[in-house]
Structure 1
Amino acid sequence: MTKLSVPAAGTPTVEIIAVTPELAAKWLKQNSHNRPVRKRAVTDYARDMAAGQWRLNGEAIKFAADGTLLDGQHRLHALIESGTAIPLMVVTGLANETQETMDAGRKRTTADALSLRGEGNATVLASILKRVWMWDQGDYKFGQNYTPTTAECAALLKQRPEIYRSVEIAVRSHQAFRYLPQSVVGTAHHVLSRVDLESAVWFFARIADGAELPAGHPVLTLRNRVMTDRADSRKVPDYRYMAYLIRAWNAVREDRPLARIQQAPDAPMPMPK
């Protein structure tokens, strides 16, 4: 369907329409009264659409009785960017002032979606999935300029169910040693396990308990560093914690002592060996 019939005000109608990029472009010409477009949201939606992960979920493209687009500009821009045609629910005939009440609720997070699926430790799972996804995209500093959508996180979890084990390790380690963020521990566990699973088991067990580590041992140096940071109330970004973990890991793998761990803000992220 390419033509949109608009009823009189006070008599809204609902249709399911297969919206093409051409139709989306036409509708956006009626976008004369809306908030600024957020490019990041458009890009996120477009990736889901192009990957076939967009679902008809009851959220509608909304038009006023005079034809003004009230809600849905980001989805329409994303549809154009994706180059795909998808079915969308379309509501027409709304009063213009209803726009003030649209998108007023809190956006559902990836953690919310995972919790609704019955996942345990949903918040930790979501944070690890996001960081693993970003790491695999080459965003080693977790800059959050390009983050995964909920659908992309779900797809990653389906592709790599071993991330569940990383969540378990993160939660268990945090119970014993609370100086490292669970999201970073879980991400590091997944990344390092891909290098050497058996060594990762020992490495994260020793991070948690610090057992039988001689002076100068990389894991002991790591533990002392993060405890000192906490005692001094230093605000340490996640990527720096990730660098600490990898530097300690590499030293263990190379069987060499490590007197101190540092990571300058402008230094590249070390890669695990």
Structure 2
Amino acid sequence: MVIDGGLPQDAPTPRLVQVTPEMSEILLSRTVVNRRLDWGQVDFLADSIIRGEWQLTHQGIALDGPLDTGCLLDGQHRLNAIIKAGIPVWIYVFEGLPRTAFPVLDTGKRRSGVDTLSSTGEKYLPVLYSTIRHVLLFKNMPDSSWSGNGSRIANGRILAAYNEDSGMYREAVAMGREISRHVFASQTGMAVGYFVTAEAAPAVKADSWIEGLTSGANLEIGDPRLALTKVPHMRVRSAKRRYAMREQVAIYIKSWNAWVQGEKIEKLGFKKTENMPMPVEVKFDR
């Protein structure tokens, strides 16, 4: 293995620069070869900047010459995000990258949210990632669509949410996996429902709730738990009307709220035009 073979003659020079919106506009005006702009990615990055979640990494901006005169080869999404956010960020600028390198830029595999959580040692990572993501969507945009570019969440936020409440997320995944065996719903939908209701009502002992859903023993007509187990097509892909994740969570919360409040309900459903129901809050007395 060669430890120090000397730098190649065409090696780019990295500089750490605080790039402002004004500087971004200048650099973008010097774009000569670049990819088609993905405005969804721009919105995603701008949102990260506005939230204060932007992190300095090795990924930056590439120019074919000096910062003052070089043409932009890579970084148009980051620069447009800086402009949209209106906030300067620190970023590495690589000067003197050969234009022949352009075809191989950003061709590596993007790190997924599941990859981000792999270091936690948790089981069932796809369900865990999906649960955390949808809990964050519930908390931040309950009445908006949970699909498309507007619903993307940075991996850093996923990991931060896990670290803040790892035990509860672990419990929610376990409960979601168990409940979904008895209810026509996805593991994620039931895990998210369990998480947000348990968080809102920590004083409620949910043992009988879970037992009713999983065993169905001695449940009378009108019991919200029975109604939840009878909701059709929450996870059947071939069904004509399959409930999306947001709808599954809403139906779970409707059933839970009725059970906590002692109400009778025989049929559950949710329309896309409805607002997301909020879980009943039952706190401990101080």
TM over 0.5: same fold? yes
- Aligned residues of 1:25 and 1:80 also touching (Cα < 8 A): yes
Unmatched segments (≥5 aa) in structure 2: 1-7, 281-286
- Aligned residues of 1:192 and 1:200 also touching (Cα < 8 A): no
Aligned partner (choices 216, 224, 248) of residue 222 of structure 2: 216
Q: Does 1:59 align with 2:65?
A: no
Q: Does 1:168 align with 2:174?
A: yes
Match of 1:242 in 2: 249
Aligned partner (choices 93, 97, 112) of residue 90 of structure 1: 93
- Aligned residues of 1:61 and 1:91 also touching (Cα < 8 A): yes
Unmatched segments (≥5 aa) in structure 1: 1-8
Deviates more, 1:10-19 or 1:235-244: 10-19
Give matches, 1:58-137, under 5 Å: 58-65=58-65, 67-137=70-140
Question: What is the TM-score when the length of structure 1 is the normalising length?
Answer: 0.82
Deviation at 1:132, TM superposition (A): 1.2
SS in structure 2 at match of 1:54: coil
RMSD: 2.8
Q: Letter of the 1:203 partner, please give it.
A: W
Q: Letter of the 2:26 partner, please give it.
A: K
Match of 2:10 in 1: 11
Identity of aligned residues (%): 22
More helix by percentage: 1
1:61-109 superposed Cα distances (whole Å, 9 cap, x missing partner): 2223583212111112223344444432333333324322222233211
SS in structure 2 at match of 1:194: helix
CA distance 1:15–1:266, change in 2 (3 Å): same
Question: What is the TM-score when the length of structure 2 is the normalising length?
Answer: 0.79
Deviation at 1:223, TM superposition (A): 0.8
- Aligned residues of 2:19 and 2:91 also touching (Cα < 8 A): no
1:130-156 superposed Cα distances (whole Å, 9 cap, x missing partner): 111111113345433233211122222
Give matches, 1:167-186, under 5 Å: 167-174=173-180, 176-177=181-182, 179-186=184-191
Q: For residues 268 and 81 of structure 2, what CA distance do their matches in structure 1 show? A: 44
Q: Letter of the 2:24 partner, please give it.
A: A
Q: For residues 52 and 270 of structure 1, what CA distance do their matches in structure 2 show? A: 29
1:144-179 superposed Cα distances (whole Å, 9 cap, x missing partner): 3233211122222233333332122223334x3363
- Aligned residues of 2:24 and 2:80 also touching (Cα < 8 A): yes
